[in-house]
Amino acid sequence: MIQKIIRSRWWIAALVLLISLIPISAFAQGSDPSDDDVNEVARQIYCPVCENIPLDTCGTTACEQWRGIIRDRLADGWTADEIKTYFVNQYGDRVLAEPPRRGFNWVVYLVPVVIFLGGGFLFYRGFQQWSSPAQNRNDREMKKVTSKPVKLSEDDISRVEEELRKRSEG
């Protein structure tokens, strides 16, 4: 009987402990974002003070301040997009890791595509020539012959005929 009471007390204590933890963990999630939450947003932002270093890996005081802002805004329930918009309004488009798709920024997105397509085209042409070199060579020679007619004198023609005759006899 005593053992049953002791056992049930342990169960009650465990239950109370479990229940007391539930609201605490929910509160912590809402008010205190983890470092991973902060870095998830921070890696999409670059501080203008330390060029080419994303905010999540930047160690300057300015970057620490910025990460602090992200943490505070996340705790206030802001979304990642809202936080990025805030930074853009404060510090300009250049804080974004990915420039917004408008105006001159399109160059950043279009140039690699153009280079890739151009490279693909050149590769295709090169491959075509490589795969049938004889045909292409004949075509080029034919083109040379047809595009640049050579005028031969009577002497040249007779010398060529003489040469051909010798070869056919020999």
Partner 1 sequence: MKKILLWGGLGLLLVFLSIGLYRSQQGQVGIGETAPDFELISFSGGKYQLSDYRGKVVVVNFWASWCESCKPEAKDLELAYQFYLNSGDVIFLGVDYVDIEPDALGYLEEFGVTYPNGPDLRTEISQAYRVRGVPETFIIDQNGIISHVQIGPYSSLEHIKSTIDPLLD
- Positions in the binding site for partner 1 (CB under 8 A): 47-49, 60-62, 65-66, 68-69, 88-94, 107, 111, 114-115, 118
* Per-residue CA distances from 102 to 46, 95, 112 (Å): 19, 15, 16
CB nearer to partner 1: pick between 16 and 111: 111
Q: Which two tokens stand for residue 67?
A: 């990460």
CB nearer to partner 1: pick between 9 and 94: 94
CB 68, min distance to partner 1, A: 8
CB 95, min distance to partner 1, A: 9
Cβ(37)–Cβ(81) below 8 Å: no
CB nearer to partner 1: pick between 27 and 116: 116
CB 92, min distance to partner 1, A: 4
Q: Which residues pair with 45 in a beta bridge?
A: 96
Q: What is the dihedral of CA 115, 118, 124, 127, to 10 degrees?
A: -70
